[in-house]
């Protein structure tokens, strides 16, 4: 009997099984409250399911499941893939997709840089006016359920063009709802006069005793004279309408901060101040704000987290301690730093982030104080400054300061540094060539004249606040070394200062290393931003 040759080739298509698993995973996320970290962990698990995740998400989005849409849209933002813009635009114009789902898609498109105001929304949405009204109502309901969602609205609003901001606030005022007052009160304090004026008018439109109470409160808080005149006018208008003032306070009391953490000052003169509170409305949850403070321009940015578990806080603080030196501080010191930062904002003309005005109220209430712009000058009376200046050993140790984690990124990175690095690069490789004493002095003189002297006051301030920070860590000897560095900044010529010499050398070494690796700040400065 002849032998039967039969080649069997069997390939199992697992795509349907994977698709089913992805859909079940997405469905399992519906209708639950998550912190950002919890949701991000879920997204990480989701995207481990392979390359079908995005196609399945897009396919499910077309089904117009309004309950699932928020989860899918979060996943599409998490994917961070700009190629999603085109298929999302396609779904946006599909007639079978509901307006509610389309508004979710618009938020994803905004994440990828698409300006919704430039789209023909009156044609994309079936009932543009209705969906706008519903979205506004939902937003007001959300912030009344969780007051700590307001910073997210402020963060988005700050990036709008001025005309869009004014239209948005005007629309809120047209609903005449008391629920809008907490948000409008914050907006009435911002640095942008037209925005603050529009917010005051919107508060007045509610025509309630609570609106009158808030306007009277704003009158004592707002410094802008133009805005104050609008407040006074609206107060009179309400009073002439027969409105009687009634108290309007938050429906909860915020406790003192649970933790306040401060980072060391980096080479750009910036540091983070992280304040955490027990959430007054949610059990076993925390809320927090992180301020990015620069010593010369003040508060540059701030980030809010409305829901944070204790485990997530501990993990985040542990992660932070791996990248920089941190210290736990008390509320009084935090207030001094914030007051100094705001003073710097005013001095430099750098507007405060919108979110700051929300957190100012929380901080003042929780610490029973008022924040007023005031420069902070640390004193070191417990140290004998004369003795420290005369101690040559402390001066010599200035050269070693950059060996400590606190100062390891204190170097300059700008195009002119790369010019110097290229000029003094060895022909044998990317390292400094051997220089005569005369050429070394020439290099130090030029570098100091062009780069360091224009920033000497900033460097001094960085050293003062770093010494203050080291005092928190009880690093007494290191404080003396830093104070020695400050006391010798009058040295002539300044490039004889050991710390200045070390900063010059490190700046050139970093530039040469970057050049070796193909990074040239003169060609692509955006990489170094």
Q: Round to whole Å and give the CA distance between 444 and 51.
A: 54
Q: In this structure, are residues 52 and 19 in contact, taking their beta carbons and an 8 Å threshold?
A: yes
Query: Does residue 68 lie in a domain region?
Result: yes
Instruction: Say if residue 335 is in the same domain as residue 425.
Output: no
Does 497 lie in the same domain as 405?
yes
- The first and second tokens of residue 108, run together, are 């994803």
Stated as kind and residue range, the H or E segment containing 326 is strand 326-328
Q: Which of 81-85, 205-209, 333-337, 428-432 has the lowest mean pLDDT?
A: 428-432
Asked if 51 and 27 touch (Cβ cutoff 8 Å), the reply is no
In a domain, 529, yes or no: no
Entry pTM: 0.80
User: At which of 241, 271, 297 does a domain end?
Assistant: 241
pLDDT at 32: 74
Structural domain contains residue 299: yes
| Whether residue 174 sits in one domain with residue 196 | yes
Does 113 share its domain with 138?
no
DSSP state of 14: -
Q: What percent of the chain is modeled with pLDDT above 70? A: 94
Clarify whether residues 108 and 234 are in a common domain: no
Judgement on whether residues 414 and 510 belong to the same structural domain of the protein: yes
Q: Would you state the pLDDT for residue 127?
A: 72
The pLDDT assigned to 438 comes to: 83
Residues 149 and 95 grouped into a single domain: no
CA distances from 203 to 193, 209, 240, 414 (A): 15, 11, 16, 47
Overall average pLDDT of the 93-106 stretch: 87
Cα angle, residue 156 at apex, residues 362 and 100 outer, rounded to 5°: 115
Q: Work out the burial of residue 444: count CB atoms within 10 Å of its CB; fewer than 13 is exposed, 13-18 middle, 19 or more buried.
A: buried
pLDDT at 133: 73
Same domain? 107 vs 191: no
Tell me the pLDDT tens digit for each residue of 39-72: 888 999 999 888 889 999 999 889 888 888 889 9
Which SS3 state, helix, strand or coil, does residue 59 take?
helix
d(CA 435, CA 9): 72
| 350 shares its domain with 394 | no
Q: How confident is the model at residue 525 (pLDDT cuts 50, 70, 90)?
A: low
Q: What does the mean pLDDT of the chain come to?
A: 88
Question: Over 90: is that where the pLDDT of 295 sits?
Answer: yes
Whether 230 and 349 map to the same domain: the answer is: no
Pairing mode, if any, of strands 270-278 and 326-328?
Answer: unpaired
What tokens does 173 get? 């005022």
pLDDT value at residue 51? 87
- Which residues sit opposite 336 in a β-bridge? none
Number of H helices, E strands in the chain: 24, 5
Is 251 domain-assigned? no
Tell me the average pLDDT across 475-487: 96
Give per-residue pLDDT as tens, 484-496.
999 999 999 999 9
Q: What pLDDT is attached to residue 5?
A: 45
Name the residue range of residue 453's domain. 385-523
| Four-point Cα dihedral 382, 385, 388, 394, nearest 10 | 90
Looking at the 3D structure of the chain, how many domains does it have? 4
Domain boundary among 241, 268, 285: 241
Confidence of residue 429 (pLDDT cuts 50, 70, 90): low
Amino acid 264: pLDDT? 95
Are residues 393 and 517 both part of a single domain? yes
Query: Domain check: are 18 and 112 in the same one?
Result: yes
Q: Which range, of 13-27, 306-320, 354-368, 462-476, averages the lowest pLDDT?
A: 13-27
| Cα–Cα dist 158/190, whole Å | 10
Position 180 in a domain: yes
Q: Residue 126 in 3-state DSSP?
A: coil
pLDDT of residue 161: 83
The reported pLDDT for the residue numbered 484 is 96
439 assigned to some structural domain: yes
pLDDT of amino acid 38 = 82
Among 76, 108, 125, the domain-final residue is 125
pLDDT, residue 436, reads 74
For 378-408, the pLDDT digits (tens) are 999 999 999 999 999 999 999 999 999 999 9
- For residue 379, tell me if it sits in a domain: no
Is 76 a member of any domain?
yes
| pLDDT tens-digit series, residues 271-282 | 999 999 999 988
List the beta bridge partners of residue 122: none
Report residue 13's pLDDT band, with 50, 70 and 90 as the boundaries: low
Q: What is the pLDDT of residue 111?
A: 85
């Amino acid at each position: 009997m002849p032998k039967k040759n039969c080649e069997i080739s069997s390939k199992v298509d697992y795509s349907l099984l994977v698709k089913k698993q992805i859909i079940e995973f997405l469905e399992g996320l519906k209708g639950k409250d998550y912190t950002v970290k919890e949701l991000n962990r879920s997204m990480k698990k989701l995207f481990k399911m392979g390359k079908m995740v995005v196609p399945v998400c897009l396919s499910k989005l077309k089904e117009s499941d309004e309950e699932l849409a928020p989860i899918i849209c979060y996943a599409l933002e998490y994917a961070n893939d700009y190629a999603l813009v085109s298929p999302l635009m396609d779904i946006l114009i599909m007639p079978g997709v509901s307006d509610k789902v389309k508004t979710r898609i618009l938020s994803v498109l905004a994440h990828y840089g698409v300006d919704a105001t430039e789209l023909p929304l009156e044609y994309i949405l079936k009932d543009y006016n209705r969906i706008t009204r519903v979205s506004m109502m939902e937003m007001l309901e959300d912030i009344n359920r969780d007051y700590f969602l307001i910073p997210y609205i402020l963060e988005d609003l700050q990036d709008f063009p001025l005309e869009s901001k004014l239209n948005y606030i005007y629309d809120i005022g047209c609903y005449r709802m008391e629920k809008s007052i907490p948000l409008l009160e914050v907006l009435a304090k911002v640095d942008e006069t037209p925005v603050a004026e529009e917010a005051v008018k919107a508060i007045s439109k509610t025509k309630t005793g609570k609106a009158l109470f808030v306007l009277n409160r704003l009158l004592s808080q707002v410094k802008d004279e133009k805005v104050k005149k609008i407040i006074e006018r609206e107060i009179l208008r309400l009073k002439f309408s027969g409105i009687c003032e009634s108290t309007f306070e938050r429906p909860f009391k915020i406790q003192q901060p649970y933790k306040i953490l401060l980072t060391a000052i980096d080479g750009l003169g910036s540091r983070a101040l992280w304040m955490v509170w027990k959430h007054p409305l949610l059990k076993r949850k925390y809320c927090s704000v992180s301020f990015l403070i620069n010593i010369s321009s003040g508060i540059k940015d701030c980030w809010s987290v409305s829901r944070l578990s204790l485990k997530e806080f501990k993990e985040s603080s542990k992660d932070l301690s791996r990248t920089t030196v941190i210290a736990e501080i008390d509320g009084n010191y935090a207030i001094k730093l914030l007051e100094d930062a705001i003073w710097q904002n005013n001095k430099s003309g750098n507007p405060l982030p919108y979110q700051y005005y929300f957190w100012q109220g929380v901080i003042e209430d929780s610490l029973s104080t008022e924040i007023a712009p005031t420069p902070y000058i640390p004193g070191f009376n417990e140290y004998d400054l004369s003795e420290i200046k005369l101690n040559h050993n402390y001066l010599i140790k200035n050269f070693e300061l950059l060996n400590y984690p606190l100062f390891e990124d204190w170097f300059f990175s700008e195009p002119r540094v790369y010019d110097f690095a290229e000029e003094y690069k060895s022909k044998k490789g990317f390292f400094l060539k051997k220089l005569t004493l005369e050429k070394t002095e020439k290099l130090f003189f030029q570098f100091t004249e062009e780069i360091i002297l224009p920033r000497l006051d900033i460097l001094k301030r960085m050293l003062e606040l770093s010494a203050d920070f080291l005092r928190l860590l009880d690093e007494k000897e290191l404080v003396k070394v830093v104070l020695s560095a400050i006391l010798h900044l009058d040295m002539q010529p300044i490039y004889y200062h050991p710390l200045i010499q070390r900063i010059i050398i490190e700046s050139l070494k970093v530039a040469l290393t970057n050049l070796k690796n193909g990074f040239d700040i003169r060609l692509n400065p955006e990489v170094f931003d």
